[in-house]
Amino acid sequence: MTEITQLLSPDAIVVDERVSDWEEAVRVSGRLLEATGVTDPAYTQAMVDSVHENGPYIVVAPGFAFAHARPCEAVHRSGMSWVRLAEPVEFGHKSNDPVTLVVAMAATDSSSHQQAMASLARLIGDKSKKSALDEASSPDEVYALLDGGATAAPAAPAAAPAAEHVRSDGATGAAPGFDGERSASAGNGSTRDKILTVCGNGLGTSLFLKNTLEQVLAHWGWASLITVEATDTVSARGKAKEADLILTSGEIARTLGDVGVPLRVIENFTSTTEIDAVLRQMYDI
């Protein structure tokens, strides 16, 4: 079994589901969690409330929403549901609407499901595999595709030099932050070699973003040099001064406000190209 199918049963998959709006789509995904013994109805309501409170931050890639809430007593075990819609619905996201796929996650803690999250992020970012899932004719076919093996990482953007980079003035030098050099992200102080990815709950969309960011850092050869931490909005305010920058959605960025370090909005949480461009700007590469 793959990491995803360890948490997702065929009974928690529906295809060509018809809904009237985003809230009904999220509720359908929650009822599948309830029906398979993963959660109680209170968790479904918590997923809906999270969108009402934070906006459509769960729409992390074009056409894809990742519904979730914090671990709570309403979660009996970690699990997932998969809802492919017959007709797309608007969540209110300026660039990733309309949504055709809603995947819901319930977790008993903030760490045990991270490998499944990484696999799901790579899957959604893989156009050929995502297309096959969109065309699957039944829940069993979806499950078979998901259970077909580990999902390979999508092609990464061009690598940045691990030991040397070109600054905006044309000079060369050691990669920023690894010999005390100041970086754009740290303002007038030295780089802290840490990036925060932030969502409303700290265990859902922020992990999508963390996984894609770590792919880019690994391709650059910087994976061992920069720490990436996924966190929630409340914790992010306290941890901001420890980081070079924060990556998050537009909705969460507005919630956070000015936290004293650079904050950049990522539209597609599965896009290595978009994150690569932001990092090159922030680290002056």
Give the residue numbers annotated as catalytic, written as ranges. 68
Q: Cα(218)–Cα(151) distance, rounded to whole angstroms?
A: 17
Tell me if residue 233 falls in helix, strand or coil.
helix
Q: Where are the beta strands (DSSP E) in 36-92?
A: 59-61, 64-68, 79-89
Residue reference for tokens 């000015």 = 258
Tell me if residue 238 falls in helix, strand or coil.
helix
Q: Cα(243)–Cα(260) distance, rounded to whole angstroms?
A: 10
Tokens in use for 62? 């074009």
63: left (phi over 0), alpha (psi -120 to 50) or beta: left
Asked if residue 119 lies in contact with residue 2, where contact means CB atoms within 8 angstroms, the answer is yes
55: left (phi over 0), alpha (psi -120 to 50) or beta: left
Q: CA angle 39-133-42, nearest 5°?
A: 15
| Amino acid residing at 199 | C
Asked if residue 90 lies in contact with residue 238, where contact means CB atoms within 8 angstroms, the answer is no
Tell me if residue 109 falls in helix, strand or coil.
coil
